[in-house]
Chains A and B, each alone.
Chain A
């Protein structure tokens, strides 16, 4: 259990500034997700927390103590890598026990118990004698998570752990990580992903990063309902929020109007008119793409199946209390 505090953290590689001054507090036992487009610095920020990279300037505190110069192994952390990073020549058991066996004064029987407990949690007990190459991707990632659990860390770091898995396995492993967090509610977890669905489903709080700076920090629903910028509004939520500029926005006293697909209603007296260009039926819901003279088509999300034909003209209205108004700088008008 540890709280992490970042004070004006900066990181540059040569002349390239990757992290440009980040202030952030991660609370004890919290599940914090760093999310952002590729190149935003989210993985670098995680590596700074882990100690695998040196901080260029600023202060990193664990439980109020500065850890800038502390080696990764002394920080009480465990990390799960995107590529699993298992030792290829060691069995699953050896992979999980390796770090512990090197610590002085560790009882062999104690290590065995810890490894087996972690293996039971992740249902990999049957594989303990196998080599990583004899396991599937999902099993390897579970071993990597198991190795992290056996370290009994105060802080659990995940670096895009699901991105090498196929879609079905990703969902299953995501649920396992969520369960893991419930089972280890005293352990602080920091999780990096570029997938906003993972961020929304796993996080207690999300930190949206853009270009080396924090864009917004908040609970998933805060980000969804009250985005602090057009960037966050567009990044969180699927399908992406519709942005409408020009005259239609001016009618709402703003320069850009944001409205989510599920907050548009098709009705005969709708205030906007659009032509159907494509319909996607996903089963439980449907996306209708309307051409409205904007750069990108406007997406309307409907429950159930949609039976509109391409070329059909529809009228739509936004739900009044669900519109997001942004000024010219991309900041919300509230």
Chain B
């Protein structure tokens, strides 16, 4: 963002002679950007390049530096058997990997969808004037402020099949006929993870949307009242189009976060094929199974998938921005 906004005046003035003041500004901007770029190169750029490099080698944990280049072997390789059939191997034909991709995408879609809907409702409530609004606003942030490990453990205990309060409540209220191992059963594991993530992240979404809502001037709602616009129509015709830019940013934050989900699933449903995501699988290969190169290949693919999502979203989002702004 910063480079874009700083660079645009230069482009527009490019045809003319660049003024000294403008050159000075551009120089200053570059100096201000430098520390961030260096930090990013060290903490993100270098590890990323290393991962990509390792994904083309046969590296293992106990032989990182003696790794040899094997090209695309980790991604796809094939051998022709004596019988003449071709056997493909590698990440691109690994069902465990595609299961993880499917899990991740499914998780990201449902969690972000629910967080957006619930976050919008919470934000609308918090945007209204009522007594003790400040306290409620602070209180609603608590789930988000708790470290994920803690909330995952907490929910793990609540969802426990033997001692969990949810099973106990369900039985007492007659909603359940028998105790359910929510996190361990393949059918319910994903739902359990989704519930915890939605509980945890809705406040964050609500806060971002609330910031957008508070940018909308109050008087246009009064104008709408005089125009006789029904409150539901006011929401869809006025609030939603005007909060849209903030909503788009909030959603992309959450999509990126959800696509690299790791900690919650690692703690709540370890080793469940029903919830194993790309990050969890990559870590498993990298450190547990000593398939360092294979794990690196998964990490690289994860990076590419997230990058593709982001580019697609920004590209589509821009089209929509223009449409919404009319």
Contacts and interface: CB of A to CB of B under 8 A. Distances in A.
Interface of A: 50-52, 71-74, 77-79, 81, 83, 85-91, 98-99, 102-103, 131, 147, 151
| Interface magnitude class on chain B | 20 to 34
Contacts of A102: 227-230, 233
Given A85-B219, A88-B242, A50 B326 contact: no
Interface residues of A: mostly helix, strand, loop or mixed? loop
Given A89-B241, A89-B325, A131-B326, A99 B217 contact: no
B171 to A, nearest CB: 49
Given A102-B229, A103-B228, A87 B326 contact: no
A55 to B, nearest CB: 16
The list of the 4 closest CB pairs from A to B, nearest first, reads A73-B228, A99-B227, A85-B219, A85-B223
Given A77-B226, A91-B326, A98-B227, A85 B233 contact: no
Interface of B: 217, 219-220, 222-230, 233, 237-238, 241-242, 324-326
A77 B326 CA distance: 29
Contact of B222 (A52, A88, A91, A99): A52
B325 A72 contact: no
Q: Which one of B217, B223, B324 has the greatest number of beta carbons of chain A within 10 Å? A: B223
B223 A79 contact: yes
A52 B224 CA distance: 11
B225 A72 contact: yes
A89 B237 CA distance: 9
A91 B326 CA distance: 7
Contacts of B326: 89-91, 131
Q: Which one of A51, A71, A85, A131 has the greatest number of beta carbons of chain B within 10 Å? A: A85
Contacts of B325: 89, 131
A87 B237 CA distance: 10
Q: Which one of B225, B226, B229 has the greatest number of beta carbons of chain A within 10 Å? A: B226
A151 B227 CA distance: 8
Q: Which one of A77, A81, A131 has the greatest number of beta carbons of chain B within 10 Å? A: A81
Contacts of B224: 87
7 contacts: A52-B222, A74-B228, A81-B219, A83-B217, A88-B242, A89-B326, A131-B326
